[in-house]
Every structure is written in structure tokens, then in C-alpha cells.
Amino acid sequence: MLCCPHKDKKFSQGDKKQETLRFVLLEFFEMVSTSCTSTNTALDQLCVTWLVPLCWEEVSIMDEKNIPIRTYQVCNVLEPSQNNWLRTDWIPRSGAQRVYVEVKFTLRDCNSLPGVTGTCKETFNLYYHESNEDRESYIKESSFIKVDTVAADESFTQVDVGDRIMKLNTEVRDVKVTTKKGFYLAFQDVGACIALVSVRVFYKTCPLTIRNLATFPDTVTGADTSSLVEVRGSCVNRSEEREEPKMYCGADGEWLVPIGGCFCSPGYEERGGACKACTAGFYKARSVDPACAKCPPHSYSLRDGATVCDCHTGYFRADSDPASMSCTQPPSAPQQLISVVNETSVVLEWAPPRRLGGRSDAIYSVECLICKRSISNSQTCLPCGSDVLFSPSQLGLRTTRVVVSELKAHTRYTFTVHARNGVSRASGAGSAPSVSVSVTTNQAAPSPVSMIQVLDVTRHSLLLSWQQPDRPNGVILEYEVKFYEKDQKERSYRIMRTFSQTVDVTGLSPLTVYVFHVRARTAAGYGDFSSPFEFSTNSDPFPLIGEGVNSAFLLLSVSGVGVLLLISAAAFIISRRSKYSKTKQDSEEEKHLNPGVKIYVDPFTYEDPDQAIHDFAKEIDVSSIHIEKVIGMGEFGEVCSGRLRLQGKREIYVAIKSLKAGYSDKQRRDFLSEASIMGQFDHPNIIRLEGVVTRCKPLMIITEYMENGSLDAFLRKHDGQFTVIQLVGMLRGIASGMKYLSDMNYVHRDLAARNILVNSNLVCKVSDFGLSRVLEDDPEAAYTARVGHIPIRWTAPEAITYRKFTTSSDVWSYGIVMWEVVSYGERPYWDMNNQDVMKAVEEGYRLPAPMDCPVVLHQLMLDCWERERAERPSFSQILNMLDKLIRNPGTLRRTGGDRPTGTMLESGLGSEVCVSVVPEACVPEWSVYEWLQSIGLEIYRETFAAAGYNNLESLLALTHQ
């Protein structure tokens, strides 16, 4: 119940504006909506009018400039059990999902009020109530939901109107309003002396913007402080989509992660975020071209927005010419054509045209005519026919030489060489410019006979026949047949001559293979002998003989294939052997890579998994373990906390992971592999394995107990509560653990804040060493067709794309952990989906600096996210860098500056905060020395002690100075 009866308080001028204007600020004491014309586009303000109960009084006072202002005051400090409410009228939320309430007020220090008893309070409460009804006159007290208890942040300011001193407190609170059309706000006084001076209610938007030539509309931010609103952009006028333009509107009214964008259409270029037409004399042919370009030589454009320039008269452009190429001309004729006749062949050679027309694609074609003189001495020319050969070719010649063969002997030919280029056709000129030469071929011997056949075989004779040579080059006068016994080779042969195209070779030995060659003779002499043909006097013809196939070659080929097969088989065996020995050598080499440094042994290389576990982990008797409570769920079963008392040692707290019943062999192996891996490590920033229980069920892995659980949840719980030095101290610990792992050649593959554990001294330790599990069971690991399960947001691009997991990809993940730490457990890339994350990273987008992040830290993150893995720092370099920062805390002071919006809310959270203590809950017994140790600065123990910093309390007073 509200304590006082309500009286409606209306502000006449403001009311009218409320109906029509969205951006109205009514400072209730002014009664004028002067702030309607707010210039801050990212903050849209909502109307506030008031319902004033009698217990709150409307009072005029003077502000610092001696200007009278009106306030609502209540000051019932002498009476107990105060419950005085002041309520606003209904405020439409106008699409907002999270609204901010900025309250300016003064509050009297109870001590400054004479004679007050214990009833005096120094806070008031802010409430809200969501409603669709704009005129609720009576709202139950219990319907209001508390936003916060508000106290003055100034040490309680004195309001001294007489001396005109009036310092205001300004507090901002935000609240999610998503369920109804509007809401009411209320202020509850429980016995303080307050004067409310102004209340401003607003919400945030990401202002209309143009990015990558796409327009993104004014967008109201999401309901939660970490939610992003995905917005699709539309291409600006005269532009077309390159890739779907997208951005995210962050909770602070900032646009984040631009993806995709648009190109200006052909004929247009980008100027000042818009697409403007190319001016005369310029052109742009393709949308992907970055800007308009000057028209190339011998071309022009007269109008704006040209996509191509026209050619000057006499100049041309081929279809395949790019718009950026000059206009060109056809070539002039080839020059200096010369011919050299060699019997029935002619070699033609010429020089390129004098004018190539500005191109380099001149080609030549050779026209061949046979010319005959008639009795009347007139010459008739006919095309040469297809049996004439041109080498390399007759058409499309790029060389200036051609050999023409297979011409007729004693014949007159005319050869014409034409020159053309890419614009010869476009120029429309008839025949191409050319140069000609006439030649007469010489007498020539006949070409060889191409085939000999056997018509009849006896024990002592062979009847052979053949065809006339393809090119007799005259009248054949006779044929000459040369033959010899195959075994004799050509040491002794016989010759027979005949006018016909058959010969009966007699007097041969039986069952003997003979080799035959035939040649023809004309007036120009003998031609070349045919290739050898073998026939046997055996009545049973030699298989394949007579078909002109050279059996010797066949034999050779067959044996050749055999040899080849043998060689390849040998090579294969050798290569198999050498690969095997290489593997062996590699592993041997590996062992000697870093003499003295322990190298991690993959437990999956053990044939017997139990052998690995016994090599690396200690078996613990279950009776020495005392399980206390369940602290979480692992992927193999429950995780409990408890105590371990080993003989001769003091009892310690431990975490106990167990393998649930009904497991498969593979699950057992995977579960124990984590212990086999962890057991090989010994470093203060790596979770320590105490031992395993494998002899009785359930199987257990016992590790040191980390009081503060996983780092991501821990940071979210203590949002904004650590100094930069403390955060850097945590990062240093993680880097130190990772350096140790990388020195041991261990690649973690799933480094993320959720896999770091924190103990009571704020010491961070790397955990989660499952092997197959790394990629398959992490709740963050998304399945991708190419690569299986991968925690996309934490993984380097080459590891996502090619499964290239290295220490450098761990460094990338470390950069993401840095970001998680500095942003107090914010989710990397917020609620973007994995596809968009991969696309954005591929396009070069990198996470921005978290709020109040020192520039040097963000730079180190960016270095870890270098696309080229060789460019990323090593863990050793990261560690050195962090040590340097801790030694010179001044370097951590410079932050990236305040963000365009939200600074008003966040003004209390700057990085300049002094070194304050960790929340009590997580450091119950924390000494200065332990604190220094946790941030790697224990060497300064003496210095701190000498300066009087002996306990946590004294640390509170420590500033950067």
C-alpha cells in the first residue's frame, strides 16, 4: 500500500507534447519539455509525469547558479517506520526493451541533522511496475518490483541553500521492460531526507548508419546487457550486394561486427558513403572495380555514369577486350615474305606488319593456290586442296614461319600471308592486309611404299604385293624389293626389281623369317625404302607378321612394361620402407629436439591404456578418500569435493571426478587418458593430479581442489570487482601454464576460460586435458562437416579449416581467454551464431577492446589473433609482456577511451581504480605475500613490507601513485 493518498499532478505543457513526441524529457520541477530536441541520437528519452502523494512535497529551491528549481522532498527522519511513495504516471516504453533511469537527488547525512535518532536512513528504493493500462490510479505496493536501493555516491552532500551550495548525486539504474506496453516507476522513502531534483528515463538505440555501402536503420538495443540485435542492412542507391550486409546492435548502442556489404553498380563509385556517377571522361565497368577510371587511350565518354568508353573513329574494341584496354586498330600487311623451295616443300618466312594497331595478338594465315597458265597464257588459280601440309599450321599462326609440304613436283603455287588481330573483324574491313609470293616446286623422288602384304606362302616362296606410294611425284618407272633372312640382319641381302606392284620371291629356305623393304623409282630417282615387313616361309604364318607390326618392338614393349612394373614395385617397397624408417627417425629426432626438456607422451600411443595410467598416475586407496559433496557434472559423471589423507601427509581438499557405471571400453580409456596426461605435468598453473582409483568402482580421478571453480563463472559472479593488475595477474598465471605445456610439446586445443580453474588465492590453473573429448564433448564445440567438433569462438581459423592445431592455435585461444577475462566472462562474439563468427573472423573482424581494457592488453589480444600463425607471439613472449606490464602498471592506464554511449552508466568503473581487495568470499585468508605471489611479483615482498603494506586492509589504500 502506498502510504499517502494520491493527488494527480499534471503538467499542462508537457502533456500535449507527450502525445506527439517520442523523445520527451519532463524534468518534473520545470514543467516544460525542453529536452525534446535531444541531439544524442543513441539515447531516446521517454516521458515522465508524476503522481505526487501528499507525503512528498513539491518545494522550490535555488540551484548552484541561483536559479530556482522545483524538487520533490521528503524528510521524515524523526519518525520511525516510514514508507513514503512517489510514483510516475504511466510511461509508454515505445519499443524499448531495457530502459535507463537517471535520478538526480540530494540526500542529507543523518549525522548532520541535529537530534535525529536511529530512525534516520540514507537511502531510498527505486521500483517499477509493467502495465498495459495507462491510467492505473491505484497500484498495490506488492505489484512493484524493486530495481535497486539507491544511496548517494558523493559523501553525503550538504544542501545549503543559504550559501547556495548544492551538489547533486546522479545515479543511473537500468531495468528490463519487455512484457507490457509501458510501465510506472516509483520511489520509496523509508525515512531519509531526500530531495529529488530530476528523473530522466531513456533507452538506447544504435543510430541509423551506413557501413560498407549498406544502410542500417535506427535500432533499439536488446533486452539484456549482453544481447545483440542482428540487423540486416540494405544496399544504398545505385549499389548491389557483395555479400549480405549484416551488423549487430550492442547493448550500449554501438554497432558491432559488420559483415558483408555492397558494391557501387557499374558507372558509379563510392564517395562519402554513397554511390556517385562517374563524370564525363571516366567510366566504371564492373561493380567490383573500386572507383571510376579515366577513359583509356583512343576512347571517350560524354555522359555521366558511363560503364564503358566509346572508341574514337577508326579505333575498335574486340568482344574479349576489357573496358580498361585502349581502343586499337587492325594490323597492316606482313612484310618481306620470302620462300625457299626444297623439292616438293616450301619454307615461307616473313616479318611482322609495320603497324600492329596497338595490340599484341597479331595472327597470320597462309592461303595456298595452284596456278596454271592456259594456252591463251591466262593464269587460273585454284585452292591447293587438303593433302598439302602446313607446319605448324595454316591458320591462326603466331609465328612468322611456316613449312608447306606434300606439294606436287614441278608445280606453280601462289602463297598469300594475311595478318589479322582481335579487332580485324570489328573493324568491318573486308579481307585482311596481305603479302604474296609465287613459287614452282622441284622434281622429287616418290614417297615410300606404306604397306606390303603377303598373298601366298609356300615352303620356298612368298608372293608379295603393295600399293603405289601416296606421293609418286611423277611416273613410277619400277619398284625395287630388298630382302634378307631375319637372323642374318642386313649382312647379306638380295634385291629384285619389278614394274608391277607384286613380286614372287622364290628360292627361300623353309621355316625361315625374311625381312622385306620396297621402294619406287621415277625420273627424279629412287624414293626411300618402306619400313621393314617380316614374313615367314612357314605355311603357318607368323602371328602378327603381315600386319606390319614390329614384333621386336612388341617384345620390347612387353618386357618394358614388365620392367616398369618391377621398377615401380621396387620403388613402392622402398618408399614404404623409407616412410617407415622416416617415422622412426622422426620420433627419434623428436626425442632429441630439446635435450633436458621433458616431452609429453600421448597416452593413446600405449597399446595398453592401463600401462599409461600406471606410468603417469598414482593409484590411491579408496579408503583414504572422504567424499563430501557434489560440486558439478563432468561429461563422464559427477564431480565431487572431498578430502584426501595419504599416509604421512596432511589432509588436503580434493576434487573427485568419477566415471559413471555402465561405461564402454572407449569411455574408460578416454576418462583415464585425462589422468595420464595431467600426471605428466608439474607446474603451479596446471591443475595437479593427486592420483586415480582404478582398482575399485567407480573409477576416480583425484585432483587438487580449486575453491573458486571455473574462471568464466567466477568472473561473471564478481563482475567489475577486480583491479586491472589482478586481472593481468590471472592472465599471467594462465600464460605461464601454457608456456609450460607448449615447452612440453602439448597442444591443448580447448583453451577457454571455462577450462581454467581458480583457487582461493586467485591462482588460475589450466585444466581439461581430455584428448578425444576435446573436440567432441565440449558443450561449446560445434560440429562442422569438414572438421568435426570444434569450439569455434576460441579456435584459430587454420585449426577450424585445416585441423592445424599447434601451439600457435593455442595462442589464438589464449587471446580469446584474455578477452573473456578483461570483459568479466562475457561470451566471445556475444550471441552471434558460429557461422557468422567464422565469416567475420575470415573477413578480418576482431573482437573490440572490452570496456576499460588497457590499450596494451587489447593490442596483445590482436597479436594473438594474427591471421598468419607464424606472426603470433609465443607463450614465452606473452609471459614476458605481461610481466613487463605488471612491473609498470602505468602502461595499463591508457584505455581505448570511453565508448560513444554508456559512459554515463559506467563512469564508476574506470580502469584507474586503485588496487582494491578481492571480494572477501574468495580470499578468506589472503596475505600480501600470497597476493604478490599470485601475480608473479613475490620479489617485491620486502618493498611492500618496508612501505607498511602488511595486510589486505592496507592494500585498500594502495593507489597507482
In the complex, the residues that contact ligand ACK under the rule CB under 6 A are 631-634, 639, 655, 687, 703, 705-706, 709-710, 713, 757
Q: Which has the closest alpha carbon to 852: 900, 903, 911, 893?
A: 911
Contact 131, 152 (CB under 8 A): no
Residue 750 among the catalytic residues: yes
Q: List 895's β-bridge partners, or say none.
A: 854
Whole-angstrom distance, CA of residue 950 vs CA of residue 385? 110
The DSSP symbol for 525 reads E
Q: Known binder of ligand: residue 638?
A: yes
Question: Smallest distance from the beta carbon of 711 to ligand ACK, in angstroms?
Answer: 8
Closest alpha carbon to 691 in 656, 667, 719, 666:
656
- Bridge partners of 435, per DSSP, are 417
Least Cβ distance, residue 772 to ligand ACK (angstroms):
17
635 annotated ligand-binding residue: yes
DSSP lists the bridge partners of residue 102 as 172, 200
Residue linked to cell 609429453:
600
Do residues 339 and 309 lie in contact, with contact meaning Cβ atoms separated by under 8 Å? no
Q: How far is CA 82 from the centre of its chain?
A: 60
Is 547 labelled as part of a ligand binding site?
Answer: no
Comparing CA positions, the residue from 7, 53, 50 lying closest to residue 28 is 50
What is the smallest separation between the CB atom of 620 and ligand ACK, expressed in angstroms?
15
- Is the CB of 634 or the CB of 733 nearer to ligand ACK? 634
Contact yes or no for 253/247 (Cβ under 8 A): no
Instruction: State the minimum distance, in angstroms, from the CB of residue 265 to ligand ACK.
Output: 53
Apex 379 CA angle, 373 and 385, nearest 5: 90
Task: Determine if residue 709 is labeled as part of a ligand binding site.
Answer: no
Residue 439 assigned ligand-binding role: no
Q: Is 639 annotated as a binding residue?
A: yes
List the beta bridge partners of residue 182: 92, 131
Q: How far is CA 795 from CA 375, 530, 813, in A?
A: 92, 73, 6
Smallest gap from Cβ 700 to ligand ACK, in A, equals 12
Question: What does the H/E/C string look like for 360-373?
Answer: CCCEEEEEEEEEEE
Task: Name the residue nearer to ligand ACK (CB basis): 106 or 755.
Answer: 755
Cα-flanking dihedrals φ and ψ of residue 773, to 5°?
A: -55, -35
Closest separation between CB of residue 637 and ligand ACK, Å?
Answer: 10
CA 309-314-315 angle, 5° bins: 40
Cell numbers 580498361 correspond to 324
Q: Which is nearer to ligand ACK, 824 or 949 (CB)?
A: 824
Cα–Cα distance for residue pair 611/589, rounded to 1 Å? 24
Beta bridge partners of 627: 642
Write down the least CB distance from residue 631 to ligand ACK, Å. 5
Amino acid identity for residue 913 in this structure = V
Please name the residues in contact with 374: beta carbons below 8 A apart, sequence gap of 6 or more. 380
- Confirm if 724 and 892 have CB atoms less than 8 A apart: yes
Residue 287 vs 703, nearer CB to ligand ACK = 703
| Residue among 84 and 767 whose Cβ is closer to ligand ACK | 767
Q: Are 338 and 437 in contact (CB under 8 A)?
A: yes
- Whichever of 103 and 730 has its CB closer to ligand ACK, that residue is 730
**DSSP secondary structure letters along 839-908:** HHHHTT--PPPPTT-BHHHHHHHHHHT-SSGGGSPPHHHHHHHHHHHHH-GGGG--BS---SSSHHHHGG
Give the CB-side neighbour count of residue 226, counting CA atoms within 13 A. 14
Distance CA 166, CA 472 (A): 124
Q: Which is nearer to ligand ACK, 62 or 633 (CB)?
A: 633
429 or 631: whose CB is closer to ligand ACK?
631
Q: Determine the longest span between alpha carbons in the chain, in angstroms.
A: 155
Please, what is the minimum distance in Å from the beta carbon of residue 710 to ligand ACK?
3
Taking the complex as a whole, the smallest distance from the CB of residue 224 to ligand ACK amounts, in Å, to: 21
Residue number, 753 or 792, with CB nearest to ligand ACK: 753
Provide φ and ψ at 589, rounded to 5°.
-65, -45
Is the Cα dihedral 108, 109, 113, 119 positive or negative? positive
Q: Check residue 191 and report its DSSP letter.
A: S
- State which residue, 415 or 705, has the beta carbon closest to ligand ACK: 705
Nearer to ligand ACK, 147 or 627 (CB): 627
- Specify whether the CB–CB gap between 191 and 80 falls below 8 A: yes
Least distance to ligand ACK, CB of residue 938, Å: 24
To ligand ACK, the closest distance from the beta carbon of 655 in angstroms equals 3
Give the three-state DSSP class for 138. Answer: coil
One-letter amino acid at 54 equals L
Q: Which is nearer to ligand ACK, 211 or 657 (CB)?
A: 657
Q: How far is the CB of 698 from ligand ACK (least distance, A)?
A: 16
Residue 861 · residue 819 · CB < 8 Å: yes
Report the C-alpha gap between 246 and 233 in whole angstroms: 6
Cα–Cα dist 170/904, whole Å: 10
The closest residue (CB) to ligand ACK is 632
- Which residue out of 750, 768, 778, 810 is catalytically annotated? 750
Cell triple for 365: 594465315
Q: How many residues are recorded in the chain?
A: 961
d(CA 691, CA 684): 17
Q: Which residues define the annotated binding site?
A: 631-639, 657
Q: Which residues define the annotated binding site for ATP?
A: 631-639, 657
Active site residues: 750
